[in-house]
């Protein structure tokens, strides 16, 4: 008879086609937390841009920062996916702003 609120919300999200947007937002949010925890010296120099089709896009101020992220890429992907409890992030791409 009665449904839990979270199930109702999930139905509405799916009906409105907002599921991918919500998932993308969650991945970006969790990625920012993981980056802050694992690269505290760089947390203010890295910006999470977007997530789409398994690719998480990041931006930084210079190539040196991107190189440092590249060294930690596997670890970051692993920790983000562990936090999400799903293998959503397949790759990180870097840009310079």
Q: Where are the domains of the chain?
A: 5-96
Q: Contact 93/57 with Cβ under 8 angstroms?
A: yes
Q: Contact 29/21 with Cβ under 8 angstroms?
A: no
Report pTM. Answer: 0.82
Handedness of CA 23, 55, 77, 90 (dihedral sign): positive
Instruction: Write down the pLDDT at residue 16.
Output: 72
pLDDT, tens digit (0-9, with 9 covering 90-100), for 41-79:
888 999 999 999 999 999 998 999 999 899 999 999 999
User: Which of 7-11, 16-20, 67-71 is predicted most confidently?
Assistant: 67-71
Six token digits for residue 2: 């009665």
Whether 93 shows a pLDDT value over 90: the answer reads yes
With respect to CATH, is domain 5-96 assigned 3.30.70.2210? yes
Q: Contact 72/39 with Cβ under 8 angstroms?
A: yes
Q: Contact 53/24 with Cβ under 8 angstroms?
A: no
């Amino acid at each position: 008879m009665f449904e839990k609120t979270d199930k109702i919300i999930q139905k509405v999200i799916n009906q409105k086609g907002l599921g991918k947007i919500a998932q993308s937002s969650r991945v970006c949010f969790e990625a920012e937390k993981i980056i802050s925890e694992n690269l505290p010296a760089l947390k203010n120099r890295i910006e999470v841009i977007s997530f789409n089709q398994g690719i998480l896009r990041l931006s930084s101020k210079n190539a040196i920062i991107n190189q440092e992220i590249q060294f930690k890429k596997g670890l970051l992907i692993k920790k983000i996916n562990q936090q999400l409890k799903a293998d959503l992030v397949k790759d990180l791409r870097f840009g310079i702003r």
